[in-house]
Amino acid sequence: MKFDVVGIDMPCLDFAVNVDHFPEPNGGERIRELSWQGGGKVATGLVAAARLGARCAVLGAVGSDSYGRFCEKDFIRHGIDTGGLLMREGRSTSLSVVLSNRETMGRAIIYNLGTAEKMTKEELPLEAVKNARYLHLAMLDDVAVEAAKAARQAGVKVFLDADSYSDELGEFIPMVDVFVASEFVYDAMFEGRDYEASCRRVMESGPEIVVFTFGEKGCVGLSAEGYFELPAYQVEVVDTVGAGDVYHGAFLAGLLQGWTVEKTAQFSSAVSAIKCTRIGGRAAIPDMETVKDFMETGEINYTEIDRRVEFYKRGIDHV
């Protein structure tokens, strides 16, 4: 079966909690909102791409517990193929408690790693990778390397969500076609703010598209089409959790539309901004019509978004 995007991840469950202020030690704070949503960098990126029209498949593993079943059904709810998602019998799925506050728009994450083992190279369905247009990666382990090699041999573009820098990342860049990285990666790789020169240095290592995102400060990028700098959209932020993940998924959706890289980056910024106006990483991911209306008018239609916000408040037992 042919997919637009195939992504590899270890999906988790996010319990998102939003407060006005982080509590002081031995103090307390009333919860403004809470929400149970699927999590994971690539996993959430796939949900964004799928909601924007891409045909997506997820590869990876979860436990057979209620958290894992929720993750699987949430993918299905968004139209994502789960044939390559392994459910480890008797194992547990990771849980992240994501505490965000409206005072600083910051967040803190505490997590419990599940006991479900990651997908191995032997379990990796290479045919699914070879039959995609893009391979979406974030974790740089031996499975990712194996998948990237297979993708490149088959003419499949490798898209990397680079959120933090490591020696493995530096070694992996030559295998990447589309490199979209955070400001943390930029600060680890470069000194100064000559963004165009920095993007060009990354391109010289192999990628054909290089983008760095800087949160509320916008993004910069370089491709054969040229260099650009774009501001971020201004919205009333509720929660920035998953903003980068959603940006990456939207970027894939834009590339699949055949848009220029600059238009794709602008579109992705709009999608990410809309997401930030509601709690959690997935509840406010918009559809294509909502994004286009926002980009044209500055107004966000919350009719469908707020139905999902309410849905995710109901916990995991109703799924």
The string of pLDDT tens digits covering residues 57-109 is 999 999 999 999 999 999 999 999 999 999 999 999 999 999 988 888 788 89
Provide, for the chain, the percentages of residues in helix, strand and coil under a 3-state DSSP scheme, each rounded to the nearest 5: 35, 25, 35
Confidence of residue 318 (pLDDT cuts 50, 70, 90): low
First to last CA, the chain: 27
Backbone angles phi, psi at 292, to 5 degrees: -60, -40
pLDDT mean over 264-274 = 98
pLDDT mean over 137-151 = 96
Cβ atoms 111, 96 nearer than 8 A = yes
**pLDDT value of residue 105:** 77
CA distance 60 to 33: 30
Cβ atoms 155, 134 nearer than 8 A = no
Residues sharing a CB contact under 8 Å with residue 98, sequence separation 6 or more, in sequence order: 14, 15, 16, 17, 39, 107, 108, 109, 241, 280
Tokens describing residue 273? 């901004």
pLDDT tens digits, one per residue of 215-258 = 999 999 999 999 999 999 999 988 888 999 999 999 999 999 99
Handedness of CA 125, 128, 133, 136 (dihedral sign): negative
CA distance 258 to 245: 21
pLDDT tens digits, one per residue of 10-55 = 999 999 999 999 988 999 999 999 999 999 999 999 999 999 999 9
pTM of the model: 0.95
